[in-house]
Each structure stands twice: as structure tokens, then as C-alpha cells.
Chain A
Amino acid sequence: MKTSYLFPHRFKAVSGLVFLVSLVLLVVLYTAIGDALQINAKVFALVTDIDVATDNFIFGDIKYFTWVTNSITDEICMLFVLVSGIVFAFSKEKHEDEMVQSIRLNSLAWATIANYSILLLCYLFVYGFPFTNVLMAAMFSQLIIFILLFRYKMYRFYTLQDEE
């Protein structure tokens, strides 16, 4: 059976490397050291509460379709994390067959269940400002859980004992 929705296998190594590097960089950006890595630029905003004149947040003063100044390092990192993550997660294995597809589907289902269980627990037990960290992690948590689970299952699959 042919699958058309997967990326070619040759993208796997490079996207995996980009994913790892950009993910580490993104985590660094979210910590205190990250402030040194800011690149400010004028960006187009669909929705914002940043005041154009002072570049400060004005709570409740929402504007649409405007230009604001903002650090774009986290945007660039997130772009790389999500694009390379999706390509790495959904590129073909070296020997793609129907059992690999069944393992992939199984991993995807379990990753979705695990991700939403964790999110629900966080929603119920994390309050106040730390909850924004939960929301940021939720941007890519399912992708990471899926990749880890699928790689682990593929590792188990590739190391199946030869019974001959």
C-alpha cells in the first residue's frame, strides 16, 4: 500500500537535527538567559495589545491589523521547531510498510491521549502566571510525545529478535 501524506525519507536526518537544535534554543529563550538573544523588528499583528507609540502592553486595549515592534527570535525558533518537527515526525521510514503504518497510527493515538491527559491535569492544578508556561509547552508537547513514543516503538521494532 502506498501512502501519499508522508514526507520522503531523505528529509528525516536533517529535519531531526534542526528540530533538536531549534527546540534547545527555544527552551533557552524561555529562560532568563534568553533576554540577551532578542532581535527587535517591526512585525505585522493580526491582533495585539502592544501600544504602538510606547511598545508597552496595555491590558484590554486590543487593536487589529496593525504593525508593532517585538522580539522575533522566539517566532523564528517556533517556526523551525514546528516545521522541522512535523517533517521529522511524518517522514517515511527507510523500509516503510504496513506494520510501520500501524505502529505510527498507534503511537499517534497514544500521544494524543497522553498529551491531553497532561494538559487537563495542568489545567486543573496550575493557576496564575505559571499557566502561561503550560500554554507555551502545549504548542509542541503533542509533537514531542508522539516523536518519542514512535521512535521508542520503532527501536523495539527494529531490534526484534530473529527467530531463525
Chain B
Amino acid sequence: MKNNLKVQRAIHNLTQQDLAERIGVSRQTINALEAGKYVPSTVLALKLAKLFDKTVNEIFELEPED
């Protein structure tokens, strides 16, 4: 699964630390998400979508191997 969290974060002018604090995870988790090393739970994905005022589909996208 790929995502455009980094782009969304840049649009909203947030650092990884800012974003982490707003949705209640650690900075490292945001880092791993952006690097595609971690697939978030539905709850976390919905929280991110809500924060960026987008739908989950606009941020996260399935890849062929998923």
C-alpha cells in the first residue's frame, strides 16, 4: 500500500513531530508510514484522513501486490 502522507503534510505545513502529536502516535510511526514500512490500522487511517480533510482513498492507495 502506498500513501501521499508526505505531500499532505507539506501542504498543511506540518513536521513529522507535529503530525504525530496531533493524531497521538510517535514521530517514528509517521516516519515508517511515509517510508511505506508500516500499514496503519483503519482507525489511524481515518484519523489522518479527518485531519487532512480528505477521504482515506485520497491518501492511501492499494498497490498491485496487495
A residues sitting closer than 8 Å to B (CB atoms) are 1, 95, 97-100, 102, 157-158, 160-164
Contact = CB atoms under 8 A, between A and B. Distances in A.
A160 B31 contact: yes
A128 B58 CA distance: 64
B15 interface: yes
Chain B's interface size range is: 10 to 19
Contacts of B7: none
Interface of B: 15-16, 24-29, 31-32, 34-35, 38, 40-41, 43-44
Contact of B24 (A97, A102, A161): A97
Contact of B25 (A98, A158, A160): A98
Given A1-B41, A97-B26, A99-B29, 7 more contacts: A98-B29, A98-B41, A99-B26, A100-B29, A158-B28, A160-B28, A160-B32
Nearest to B23: A97
Of A102, A158, A161, chain B has the most CB atoms within 10 Å of the CB of A102
A100 B38 CA distance: 11
Contacts of A161: 31
A98 B44 contact: yes
Given A1-B43, A157-B28, A99 B34 contact: no
A98 B29 CA distance: 8
Of A95, A97, A157, A161, chain B has the most CB atoms within 10 Å of the CB of A97
B34 A97 contact: no
Of B26, B34, B35, B43, chain A has the most CB atoms within 10 Å of the CB of B26
